[in-house]
Structures are given as C-alpha cells and as structure tokens.
C-alpha cells in the first residue's frame, strides 16, 4: 500500500529502539520460565513500555 505506513511497521520501529530494555525484560522472564505468573517482571516491563512510548 503506497503512501501509507501500516501501524505495525511504526510499532516495530519503535520497539527496535528499545532493545536494551527489551533484553532486560526478556532476561527476567527467561531466568525462570517454568514459573511465570502475572506481573512477574512488572518493573522491567514498565521500563520497556516507557521507552516504547517515548520512541513511538
């Protein structure tokens, strides 16, 4: 579709700018992925989301 950026593309570029926070969040989950519960990595996720909201 020419002349129009799909929202998912915008989303992907914004996420790409937060690789450091994304990696910190991923590490927190992967550290013990047999025992994941809701809001297990809340602080890391909020940091990732803040970065994402700034870069979007």
Residues that bind another protein (CB under 8 A): 1, 8-9, 11-12, 15-16, 19, 21-23, 25-27, 29-30, 33, 36-41, 45, 48-49, 52
- Quote the CA–CA distance of 17 and 30 in Å, as a whole number: 21
CB of 54 to another protein, least distance (A): 13
In whole angstroms, how close is the CB of 28 to another protein at the nearest point?
A: 9
Q: Smallest distance, Å, CB 35 to another protein?
A: 10
Residues 47 and 25: their CA atoms lie apart, in Å, by 9
Residue 43 has phi, psi (to 5 degrees) of -65, -45
């Amino acid at each position: 579709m020419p002349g129009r950026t799909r929202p998912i593309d915008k989303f992907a570029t914004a996420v790409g700018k937060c690789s450091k926070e994304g990696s910190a969040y991923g590490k927190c989950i992967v550290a013990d992925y047999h025992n994941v519960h809701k809001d297990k990595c809340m602080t890391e996720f909020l940091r990732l989301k803040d970065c994402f909201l700034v870069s979007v």
